[in-house]
Structure 1
């Protein structure tokens, strides 16, 4: 614990900025929430199209954009006092939203995301490139800060949940 404290002081990083996951929850993600010692409070739910979940005592709450750690802190603060003395909330992602591959691949469609996925692995999940496929002209549409962005990506770059990948046709 002392080493962590020194790391924070030496690097100038505040403790609350040292998050293990920066992944923001979004529509289609499946989350599991438990409170230690309260089996009746376990919930496994998929975020709605509005980025909300329904939780006992709290009703429908918007969690879109929150990290898992932020969700845990939010639920702890909302449940503490009125409903529980000192709730120990645990949240995890049990299933990420799908990503999609279209264009010059053998088996286009939606696929389950797994951490560490690269563009090359995503194309492999879609059956690989067709003979006409361009290996350099691959467009990825991604939601960033609430806006849809489009960019060309290389095969070794990371794919994120919700990405829409379009493999273009090569003319040579």
Structure 2
């Protein structure tokens, strides 16, 4: 009975962890380098696909310059909806999707340091594999991720199974043994 309860709790924990990753991407904040697609149903002239520039502002038909960096896709949808409703369209149906996430970067004790395209579900181990694998001197316990959280750069101590997000800078440090 004790093992059944333990097994049940482990299943709940795993479900919670995978759900928390889904929440991360649903709450994903747009940044420079992301490619977004804005679609307005029935209005092809108002639909566009664009890479978010460094300044974080895109020029959108009828609305002009819109700040997109720091917004979620649903927040951007809402802003465009409010701007188009009334003067331009009666009840616009708008969809904003991330077509391509900004890259992540990995350096330190990996064979090919550099920037790589982000893929949902990416862990530190998978990121290292994309970079050619760990070097012989790589530490599996000394891993740092530099991440932008609410406009502020934070340094996070990570494990090989931790999630990598778009724009992260992963540093695999050297092991002494």
1:82 to 60, 78, 87: 87
Matched-pair contact (CA < 8 Å) for 1:26–1:47:
yes
Alignment partner for residue 43 of structure 1, among 45, 48, 53?
Answer: 48
For residues 1-172 of structure 1, the aligned pairs below 5 Å read: 21-172=26-177
Q: Give the TM-score normalised by the residue count of structure 1.
A: 0.86
Structure 2, unpaired ranges of 5+? 1-22
Structure 1 gap ranges (5+) = 1-17
Q: List per-residue Cα deviations over 1:53-96 (Å, max 9, x = no partner).
A: 11111111101111111111110011111111111111100000
Cα distance, 1:33 vs. partner?
0.4
Q: Which has the higher helix share?
A: 2
Q: Structure 1 residue runs of 4+, over 2 Å off? A: none
Cα gap change, 1:25/1:81 in structure 2, threshold over 3 Å: closer, same or farther? same
Aligned residue pairs total 155
**Alpha-carbon displacement from aligned partner over 1:99-156 (angstroms, at most 9, x marks no partner):** 0001110111101111111111111110110011111111110001111011210011
RMSD: 1.6
